[in-house]
Amino acid sequence: MVIISNERLADQVYRMCLDGDTSLITAPGQFINIKVPGFYLRRPISISDYDDEGVTIIYKVVGNGTDVLSRMQPGEKLMCLMGLGNGFDVNACGEHTLIVGGGVGTPPMYGMAKALLALGKRVTVVLGFNSKSDVFYEEEFKELSRLLSGIELDVRVSTVDGSWGTKGFVTDCLKGLDDVTDYCACGPIPMLKALYNHFNGKILGQLSFEERMGCGFGACVGCSINTKSGFKKVCKDGPIFWSQDVFFKS
């Protein structure tokens, strides 16, 4: 695929737009595996948005591979494996879906919100970050609602240090949302566990896990999580699992 743009969004967070075949992408929440020049292992990165002509990814610089990725320029090419993972089940969502993104778990939630709004569903978005310097895509979510539904989207933001939005965690932004029918979330495991505990298992959630992946094909079992039907590989069986099927460590 050809890099169209590669820009900084927040502290160590970048958005890259790629031009190429996206026919293998079938659902929001899937990911791609990128072959970064000079590195053997591919980098799995969630898909934020896509259309017939290209894909948008958002990634955080956390090591040498993503550092190289952040310095790549428009016109350069990347080898990408597309449409990996199961993706969110849009048809399983009810009339009012809560969309939750934590840090770099935010990108795939943009695509899910877009899909639900296109179906005329009611959506509330909650985004969680450590600090104001980490916040990104708040305005993009708001603009998305204006483009697709014409109705202002309820977008709430929390920061751990209180420098932007509500001080605390995503669960501190859930007041007044008693009519939520279901939720979809991506972020750190403590955040996913907190959401599950908040709803006390009374409503179903689709949880996207951010486990580190080695191969991306299910061969190395490095990204396994414990579920009620045994250990599952995030890269092959996920990355999305139903909340009631996951065992969270106490």
User: Measuring CA to CA, which residue among 65, 58, 64, 5 is closest to residue 35?
Assistant: 65
* Cβ burial, residue 142 (10 Å; 0-12/13-18/19+): middle
- At 189 the pLDDT is 93
- pLDDT, tens only, 137-158: 999 999 998 888 777 789 999 9
- pLDDT, tens only, 235-244: 889 899 999 9
Is residue 173 within 8 A of residue 191, CB to CB? The reply is: no
% of the chain residues with pLDDT over 70: 94
Single pTM value for the model: 0.94
Give domain 90-245's CATH architecture. Answer: 3-Layer(aba) Sandwich (3.40)
Given the structure tokens 């191969």, which residue do they identify?
215
User: Measuring CA to CA, which residue among 187, 215, 190, 44 is closest to residue 125?
Assistant: 187
* Cβ burial, residue 54 (10 Å; 0-12/13-18/19+): middle
pLDDT tier for residue 247 given thresholds of 50, 70 and 90: confident
- At 213 the pLDDT is 60
What is the CATH code of the structural domain delimited by 2-84?
A: 2.40.30.10
**In the chain, domain spans:** 2-84, 90-245
Is residue 94 within 8 A of residue 184, CB to CB? The reply is: no
- At 151 the pLDDT is 74
- pLDDT, tens only, 171-219: 999 999 999 999 999 999 999 999 999 998 899 999 999 866 655 555 6
